[in-house]
Amino acid sequence: MVSQGHMQVALAEARAAAGRGEVPVGAVVVAPSGAVVARAGNRTRELNDPTAHAEILAIRMACAAAGSER
């Protein structure tokens, strides 16, 4: 279940993305325990990568943290 705290983390990432001139979207991957595993904001312009959306970046970071592509 998503808590208000998790939503605040996502909103902070969105604000940071906006500050970088990106579309203001943030994403958070949360473990079943409620711990934040990964967080990211859009970086498509910064990285010149059309796939660098917040959701994709957060999933990539979570997979790296888990040591698995799944």
Would you say the pTM of this structure is higher than 0.95?
no
Q: What is the domain-level CATH number for residue 12? A: 3.40.140.10
Tens of pLDDT along 15-29? Answer: 999 999 999 999 999
Confidence tier at 1 by pLDDT (50, 70, 90): low
Report whether 18 contacts 46 (CB < 8 A). Answer: no
Query: For the chain, what is the mean pLDDT?
Result: 95
**Total structural domains within the chain:** 1
Q: Which residue numbers are catalytic?
A: 55
Residue 27 structural domain: 4-66
Helix, strand, coil content of the chain in percent (nearest 5): 45, 15, 35
**Span 19-48, average pLDDT:** 97
